Amino acid sequence: MVDGGIRILRRFRFRPLIGFLAAGLGVFLGGCAPAAPRSFSGAEAYALAQEFLEFGPRVSGTEANRRAGEWIQGQLKEAGWDPFLDEGEYMNTPVRNIAGRKGGGPILILGAHYDSRRCADQPQGGCAEPVLGANDGASGVAVLLELARTLGLDWNTRQVWLVFFDAEDNGRLDGWDWIAGSRQFALRVRDARAAGDEFSAMILLDMIGDADQQIYFEGNSDPVLREEIWSTAESLGFGAFFLPTQKFTMLDDHIPFRDLGIPSVDIIDFDYPHWHTTGDTLDKISEESLERAGRTVEVWLEGGA
Ligand SMILES: [Zn+2]
């Protein structure tokens, strides 16, 4: 958090100017979609990942996890979203999902997990050190928070929930299962549906920041939605990074929502040699990869998806 203050100052100094220029452009171009303040920036997302990683490993139930969750709520508020918490317990450990909502109408969930794995047990097993999770966790958090600042939708007819899951990543450690946080959150969604809320889709971003990026179709994802998203990536010139063939089938945070019958997609790049090692650090992710993932989701959503 050492240079956070400097970054915040810089942002405040330049944002009004950028906003003024964007407003001017809007007049000339005559907006065909509700005005977004600017488009998704990989550099901004990378800076968010860097700041988030200052909390260190964010193992469920720890002080660092709690503080990281507070920071996420602060970022959501600053970007004009309404934060809310989903709190519970799993294996005698507090599980706190953080969410932010905006708009009205059918709800689309964008998700990522913010916890990190308690043990770096790849490739040799053991539990000497936790995983920092620059790609496995922070990359998705950073993309969601940058989308919070840049998404321009018709908020009178569209509602988005940005959901940051806890307790995703301790699977197979001391009897823990994977995705405990999203299973907990899905109970809330089930109840909201029973009360009349409509959920249109769930899109998960996990491990999307690898500098060597290849994102394949994931086998448990909704075929129609994943085709749409990968076609959007192709139209943006990202066809070499979003590959429309199925490679992995994942147990990930989209599963509890798919099981509720909500069309769900996991955008994940599982070809990552640093997965669950102490090497999953900031230098392994890139601005370009974050930008490709974020821009794709942004353009897909702003195109009326
Ligand atoms: Zn993981």
pLDDT digits (tens, 9 = 90+) for 75-126: 999 999 999 999 999 999 999 999 999 999 999 999 999 999 999 999 989 9
Every domain of the chain and the residues it spans: 1-32, 34-302
Task: Look up residue 169 and give its two tokens.
Answer: 């990543």
**Closest alpha carbon to 8 in 74, 73, 69, 70:** 74
- pLDDT by residue (tens digit) across 43-66? 999 999 999 999 999 999 999 999
What's the Cα-to-Cα distance from 194 to each of 87, 135, 141, 190, 240, rounded to whole Å? 20, 35, 29, 6, 42
Fold of the CATH domain 34-302: Aminopeptidase (3.40.630)
Distance 258 CA to ligand 1 centre (A): 20
Distance 279 CA to ligand 1 centre (A): 13
Q: What's the pLDDT at 36?
A: 58
Distance 201 CA to ligand 1 centre (A): 23
For the four alpha carbons of 236, 237, 238 and 243, in that order, the dihedral sign comes to positive
Q: What's the pLDDT at 304?
A: 76
Q: What's the pLDDT at 37?
A: 72
Distance 116 CA to ligand 1 centre (A): 7
Q: What's the pLDDT at 305?
A: 73
Distance 136 CA to ligand 1 centre (A): 5
> Does residue 29 have a pLDDT over 60?
no
CA distance 200 to 47: 31
Distance 38 CA to ligand 1 centre (A): 31
Listed residues: CB within 5 A of ion ligand 1: 136, 169
Q: What's the pLDDT at 20?
A: 46
Mean pLDDT of 171-176: 95
Under the banding of pLDDT at 50, 70 and 90, the label for residue 174 is very high
Helical (H) or strand (E) element with 85: strand 82-90
> Does residue 193 have a pLDDT over 50?
yes
> Does residue 27 have a pLDDT over 50?
no
- pLDDT by residue (tens digit) across 202-237? 999 999 999 999 999 999 999 999 999 999 999 999
Distance 275 CA to ligand 1 centre (A): 7
